[in-house]
Structures are given as structure tokens and as C-alpha cells.
Structure 1
Amino acid sequence: MTELTMQVERSIAAPREAVFRAWLDPEMLRRFMLPGQDMTVPRADVDAREGGRFEIVMRAGDKDMPHAGTYREISPHERIVFTWESPYSTETDSEVTLEFAPEGDGTRVTLTHVRFPDAEMRDNHKAGWSAILAALDTALA
């Protein structure tokens, strides 16, 4: 595992409180945790508290890809930090930080993901997180 880091930002046309809540709501996660074309999320389970766990199953065709993690920090409407466990990020210290800042009538979301095994994995995750933020914007419209 290396200290490779990636960051994506997006303006979301929704209030900060709604954007923050979407990340902790299993039904909303099912609508926007879509890192690729023609993907679905058949299951999302959330224990939205520090130390709580989440599990999101992403499906591409007939292949299920489970993703899970533990919430390390939940600062209402400002920040969420969680571990990221996936078939494509196999190290245990992979971590995602979401920061939510007011921006006009909407919200600026900054997503930082740290610790990847290699640059290719980092770049693949950057594309996936970018697609997820775009789907979030659509889901909250």
C-alpha cells in the first residue's frame, strides 16, 4: 500500500444538509453509488454512527461487488470519514473523507480517498468517485 491520494470535487445543486444526509441514507445510497454505466445497487445497509459499519453491494451485469467500511467521523453537515473496503481497494487502511461546504444555493463536496496499492487503482477510483458524485447530483435534483 502506498500513500497515493486522489481528490474529486463537485458542486451539488442541493442544500448541504440534504447532501450530507444522502451519504448516510441506505435508500439514497442505492440511487447514487453508481461508479459505472449500467450499474445498480441491490443492497445498502448503514449503521450511521461513529464506529458503525456500512455495506453497499454494487452490481454490474451478474457480478456483485461488495463494498464496506466503518465510520470514523460523522460531523453533521460538515464531514464524514470512513474506511473503504472493496475488491478493488484491498488494503485495510484505505480511507475516504467527505467535506461539505455551502456554495451559493448548493453544496461543494470534496471527496478525498487515500492509500491505494498503485496509481492505476487510484485513477480507477477517481473515475468511479467522479461518476458517483454526478449521480448524487442527479438523485438530489
Structure 2
Amino acid sequence: MTDLSLTVDRIIKAPQERVFNAWLDPEMLARFIIPGPGMTVPHAASDAREGGRFEIVMKAGDDEIPHAGEYREIKPHERIVFTWESPFSVEDSTVTLTFDPVEGGTRVTLTHVRFPDKESRDNHEGGWNAILEALDGVMV
């Protein structure tokens, strides 16, 4: 089932450059990479360059869920591609973000490919939608 994918998008009420930069800034990541209610991010780090890595620890109650990945492509203000490594992902799971200026802000389109099964894909879809909503909230 690794050919499963999802795409979500949202208009973020902020300029393209600012929205793009938020995805590479560990302090900002800690504020919006929150896929569920009551979750926090006690640790976020980013070596924001092609070939660099990021680490994010999501906390739900007493459980800490590590996430990491490698930046495969960074095209300033337009596109970021990174691998997605977590206890719930498969090898070569990849996320692509595009940033397009629109009236009133920036359309962020997120495409995530390769999941172990439909349930994992559906759970990630809910998580990514929550993350984009949180991103919009912190951009104000």
C-alpha cells in the first residue's frame, strides 16, 4: 500500500516568504507542528539546507513521538521537499510543500506520499490539516 498519498491545502493569511520561512525555523515549527488537541512540541531542530536534517518531538500526554527527515529540496519561498521519518511511516515517505501567493495570503499545498496502509494515510491527513490550521493561527 506504499503508493498511497494525500494532498491538503490551505490559504494562510500571511506573505509567501514568511509562511515558507516558518517551515524551516525550529521555533516556529514548535508552535504549529501540532497534529492533535492537547499535543505539544518540546523539541524542534532544523538544519535548513538541502541534505540537512530536522527533528521534531511531538508530545501527547506522557508519550513522546519522534519525527525527523532530510531536506531533499529547498527552493526559496516556493517549494520544500523532505523525507518523513516517524514510528508510523515507511521508508522514503516524502512530503512536498508548495507556496503560492494568492489574494489575502499564501496557498500552502502539502502532498505526502508513501504510507503503510489507508488508516495511516487517513490519520496523517487529519494531522496535516490540523497543522495547517495551527500554522494559520500563528501567522497572525
Please classify the TM superposition score into its range, dividing by the shorter chain length.
Answer: over 0.9
| 1:50 maps to 2:42 | no
- Normalising by structure 2, we get a TM-score of 0.98
Instruction: Note the alpha carbon deviations across 1:52-78, whole angstroms, 9 max, x for none.
Output: 000000000111000000000000000
What percentage of aligned pairs have identical amino acids?
69
Q: CA separation in 2, counterparts of 1:127 and 1:52? A: 27
Alignment of 1:32-111 (within 5 A): 32-89=32-89, 91-111=90-110
Shift of 1:33: 0.3
Q: CA separation in 1, counterparts of 2:114 and 2:27? A: 28
Residue 129 of structure 2 aligns with which residue?
A: 130
- Normalising by structure 1, we get a TM-score of 0.98
- Partner secondary structure for residue 130 of structure 2: helix
Q: CA RMSD in A?
A: 0.6
Q: CA separation in 2, counterparts of 1:64 and 1:115? A: 23
- Partner secondary structure for residue 81 of structure 1: strand
Structure 2: 5+ residue stretches without partners: none
Shift of 1:23: 0.2
| 1:28 maps to 2:41 | no
Count of matched residue positions in the alignment of Structure 1 and Structure 2: 140
Q: Which amino acid aligns with 2:103?
A: G
Residue 111 of structure 2 aligns with which residue?
A: 112
Shift of 1:105: 3.0
- Partner secondary structure for residue 132 of structure 1: helix
Q: CA separation in 1, counterparts of 2:126 and 2:83? A: 19
Moved over 3 A (4+): none
Q: CA separation in 2, counterparts of 1:105 and 1:77? A: 16
Q: CA separation in 1, counterparts of 2:104 and 2:36? A: 28
